Amino acid sequence: MISELLKLFRPTSTPDVGQSLILLILTIAFGIFIGRIKIKKVSLGIAAVMFSGLLFGHLGYSIDEKSLGFLRELGLILFVYAIGVQVGPSFFSSLRKEGLRFNILAISTVLVGGMVTFAIFKYSGQSIEHSVGLMSGAVTNTPGLGAAKSTLVELKNSFPTKEFGDPAIPYAIAYPFGVLGIILMLIITKSVFKIDLEKEEKELNAGIDKKHNYPTAVKCRVINEAPVGMSLKEVLAMFEKDAIIFSRLKHSGSEIVYSPEPDYVIRDRDVLMVVGHKEHVEKAVAFLGRPSSDIMVESNADIHTHTLIVTKHSAVHKTLSELALYNRYDMKVTRVYRSGMEFLATGSFELFFGDKLVVVGNKYALEQAEQIVGNSEKRLLEPDFLSIFGGLILGILVGSIPIFIPSFPVPVKMGFAAGPLIVALLLSRYGGVGMIHTYINHGAIYFMKDLGICLFFATVGIHAGKHFYENFVAFNGWTWISYGLCITLIPLFLMVIIGRFVLKINFLQLAGLMSGTYTDPAALSFSNSYFKSDVPAQAYATVYPMVTIFRILVAQLLILLFA
């Protein structure tokens, strides 16, 4: 009995299911343990799972090829889909602001990295498979490696007699130096450019305040003559449609607060709660009178403010007007929260699953609103597997669509790396398709993302580690390391110079762009702790989706053009 149990832990070239599962779980567990070890605030994090796989592969452990391929692709799909769901809403909103500038800089850096990789392939004698593997490792981009391997499988099917190199081997060698290269660049640029972090943060916050366009609420006392005798509807007509909302009303000398109807005629000394974007609220207050310090209008004795969550499918993709939730006599929806962003509630605002509505009204009206939108926190805690797997199927289908390009030996596909990512981004932007939505609570997203990347790193590491030492010696691993550092540092140096001195990007944002352009969570974690700010994380999320797509496309094109 003991010998049978020990057999599960012994290396073998023909493992059964039990041995494969034990190896996979042990590889991930050991990698996570190693990844938590910090040396001068730097740790490998989840990336250590790949090095754990290299070790076990080197020691003779293996997983059968079919199972290994399945687990690798499954992990990649889960990882990129979760990333798309997580950053989708902020990604599209950022493109309308400074995000377009950030993405142009990041994509240009990706293309420069592709040109450096091509130069290494052209003049060093390295195969294109190994050059692309070096590129993916040097820029710490896992989906790019996945796309390269998928493209090589397609080429192998079309040209069964041709032998191709494994990009995972140089990837594994270049990866740790890619992580360290980005972190060193962050430290060096801060020192060389004499960055004052406090000054950078103050300048950034001042700029954000100027662009701030979140809804605000101001109490206003009516003291001007012009609005007295006018209805609220007439006042609203003076502004852009749905620009402001009057959520609360209290008469002078009264303690009763209620939500006013549009036909209400304004009286002298009335106190109104005005909700809207800052510039519109300021104009409304100036027309009506002055800001008020009356705290009675905020009382919850007669009227209440609740947050209701959209969890009923009959309310999804309906506007507030269609659901009779906008500008009612006894109730007002003033703001909507979605994926960490705040919006002013308007009649044309379309609701998505998981939206949080700030509703002002009497108890009976709030109960009616709750029945309309659902407000079931239990529904949010339970992952909607129909939506998750429906989205994954759409992603796989999109990634499998062949795109025929003249003179290419095989059709180009977005693959399992780009397909699910693009679908997740679009679904999160438009709230879903039919019964498929993209709301997943934060815990489930992080579990899905980390599980996916752990499966991918473990399988890639085990496969590459099988002949790691022999390959390091055969291909002169130190040469690969030097080539990888060229791919890491040359585009990064140009990015810093252009971003800082030409585009005048705040250094905290530039740090996030550097980590995001190299899709490196370890560098992002270092930036957040080293600079003691969450600004890098926001910039990271802005460029991550587009950069991932371009890294995938560049890796595929290099393989297709030159393999």
User: Can you state the percent helix, strand and coil of the chain, rounding each to 5?
Assistant: 60, 10, 30
Closest CA to 208 of 555, 538, 471: 538
Q: Once rounded to an integer, what is the mean pLDDT over residues 229-255?
A: 87
| Distance in angstroms (rounded) separating the CA atoms of residues 433 and 315 | 14
Specify the pTM.
Answer: 0.72
| Distance in angstroms (rounded) separating the CA atoms of residues 538 and 382 | 28
Q: How confident is the model at residue 473 (pLDDT cuts 50, 70, 90)?
A: confident
Q: Residue with structure tokens 């939730």?
A: 325
Q: How confident is the model at residue 208 (pLDDT cuts 50, 70, 90)?
A: low
Q: How confident is the model at residue 61 (pLDDT cuts 50, 70, 90)?
A: confident
Closest CA to 204 of 497, 510, 499: 510
The angle formed by the CA atoms of residues 218, 224 and 229, to the nearest 5 degrees, is 100
Asked if residue 476 has pLDDT above 70, the reply is: yes
Asked if residue 189 has pLDDT above 90, the reply is: no
Q: How confident is the model at residue 207 (pLDDT cuts 50, 70, 90)?
A: low
Mind listing the pLDDT tens digit for each residue in 521-537? 667 766 766 777 667 76
Of 240-254, 281-295, 484-498, the one with minimum mean pLDDT is 240-254
Closest CA to 42 of 164, 183, 136, 203: 183
Asked if residue 211 has pLDDT above 60, the reply is: no
Q: How confident is the model at residue 487 (pLDDT cuts 50, 70, 90)?
A: very high
Q: Given this model, what pLDDT does residue 205 score?
A: 66
Dihedral, 61, 65, 69, 71 alpha carbons, nearest 10: -50
Mind listing the pLDDT tens digit for each residue in 306-321? 888 888 878 888 888 8
Asked if residue 62 has pLDDT above 90, the reply is: no
Higher pLDDT, 109 or 152: 109
Asked if residues 561 and 129 have their Cβ atoms less than 8 Å apart, the reply is no
Q: Once rounded to an integer, what is the mean pLDDT over residues 399-420?
A: 73
Higher pLDDT, 284 or 406: 284
Mind listing the pLDDT tens digit for each residue in 131-172? 999 998 898 887 788 778 878 887 777 777 777 778 888 887
Q: How confident is the model at residue 42 (pLDDT cuts 50, 70, 90)?
A: low
Q: How far from each other are the two terminal CA atoms of the chain, in whole angstroms? A: 51
Q: What's the CATH number for 210-379?
A: 3.30.70.1450
Q: Given this model, what pLDDT does residue 401 score?
A: 83
| Distance in angstroms (rounded) separating the CA atoms of residues 558 and 540 | 26
Q: Given this model, what pLDDT does residue 50 score?
A: 78
| Distance in angstroms (rounded) separating the CA atoms of residues 38 and 442 | 26
Q: Given this model, what pLDDT does residue 269 score?
A: 92
Mean pLDDT of the chain: 82
Asked if residue 213 has pLDDT above 70, the reply is: no
Q: Given this model, what pLDDT does residue 7 score?
A: 65
Q: Given this model, what pLDDT does residue 270 score?
A: 93
Structural element, H or E, at residue 333: strand 331-338
Asked if residue 9 has pLDDT above 60, the reply is: yes
SS3 readout for 477-506? HHHHHHHHHHHHHHHHHHHHHHHHHHCCCC
The angle formed by the CA atoms of residues 112, 117 and 119, to the nearest 5 degrees, is 95
Percent of the chain with pLDDT over 90: 14
Q: Given this model, what pLDDT does residue 288 score?
A: 93
What order do you get walking across the sheet with 331-338 strand by strand?
304-309, 356-361, 331-338, 341-344
Q: Given this model, what pLDDT does residue 28 score?
A: 92
Q: Given this model, what pLDDT does residue 97 score?
A: 66
Asked if residue 490 has pLDDT above 90, the reply is: yes
